[in-house]
Amino acid sequence: METRLLGSSSLAITPICLGTMTFGEQTAERDAHAQLDLARERGINFIDTAELYAVPARAETYGATETIVGNWLKRQDRESFIVATKVAGPARTMPWIRGGTLNYTRANLRAALDASLRRLQTDYVDLYQLHWPDRNQPMFGDWQYDPEMERDSIPIKVQLEALAELVAEGKIRAIGLSNEHPWGVMEFVRHAEEFSLPRVAAIQNAYNLLNRTYEVGLAEVCHRERVGLLAYSPLAFGLLTGKYLDNPRIAGRFTSFANFGQRYDKPGVAAAVAAYCSLAREHGLTPTQLALAFMRSRWCVASTIVGASSVTQLTEDLDACEVKLGDEVLSAIDRLYLLHGNVAP
């Protein structure tokens, strides 16, 4: 599989990244290692995880995913893989992580990274990401900015200065953002340039057929500032496989974990999913093939994060990523997008 540089960094990543948030919840360690083996065999060099995983986040599984990945990684040639992880921030109630005090202070960033390195059994991470902004911002299904929700937050310059220390110590090769917005990206870039601090190499945001909000403002910002998009949830939590259309109660992440309804249980989602699934079948494709091949067709996607709960599912997803869509299908996708819009922001 080919590689490309991630943003302005020196990280050479594959266009497919293995997402791991099921490891330790839906996926036991043995099966997780089988997924990692498969990804390696298919030429994927990019692995994404986070300190709060497995998902849904809870005290009992905190750090489990990094531990599982670390137990596999210690048996590999470390330099052959690009390993990304994320630090949990404020605005989520998680008292089991650093006592619930999760602002991006110098002390918290250092403590979080050191703990991740221990679990991953490595001396460094290639990409260290802020899981979501420290400041007030709509996220995970919230779709309107509310100035009344303002709270104290760590200044972006202070966050960058803390990360710069960790980069200088060799513990981080590049830094990234996640669930960010145009203003935040530009502020990180501005402070990096003005004060000679590390530049952001990547942004990890949701992007799929039901949510193309990235294209509105972030696509231009990230293109001009050389920030690569790591697109997560390409199958919209499994909705874009079409499996919930005939049986809305079928077993899956969407039905098993009710707290994810905030993003996907919205008016218009079912109709949009049905339309894209119908389009796929009209062209002899599975809905999964349409959704994942669309991701590979997008100029703005540096790498698509593909996660699965089993090797069988991951195999299907990786095969779907290799499908190339013709101009007729891509044009039809855009027509449906203009009809349905961003129904799951």
In eight-state DSSP terms, residue 239 is G
CB 5 within 8 A of CB 11: yes
Indicate the helix (H) or strand (E) that contains 296: helix 287-297
Indicate the helix (H) or strand (E) that contains 279: helix 269-282
First-residue to last-residue Cα distance in the chain: 31
d(CA 87, CA 104): 9
The pairing of beta strand 4-5 with beta strand 12-13: antiparallel
The pairing of beta strand 200-206 with beta strand 16-19: unpaired
- Residue 235's CB: how many other CB atoms inside 10 A? 24
CB 20 within 8 A of CB 210: no
Question: Does residue 244 have an active-site annotation?
Answer: no
d(CA 29, CA 301): 30
Sequential DSSP letters for 82-140: EEEEEE--SSS--TTSGGG-----HHHHHHHHHHHHHHHTSS-EEEEEESS-SS----T
SS3 of residue 187 by DSSP = helix
Phi/psi for 208 (5° steps) reads -165, -175
CA geometry: angle at 234 spanning 217 and 256, to 5°? 120
- Which are the catalytic amino acids? 53
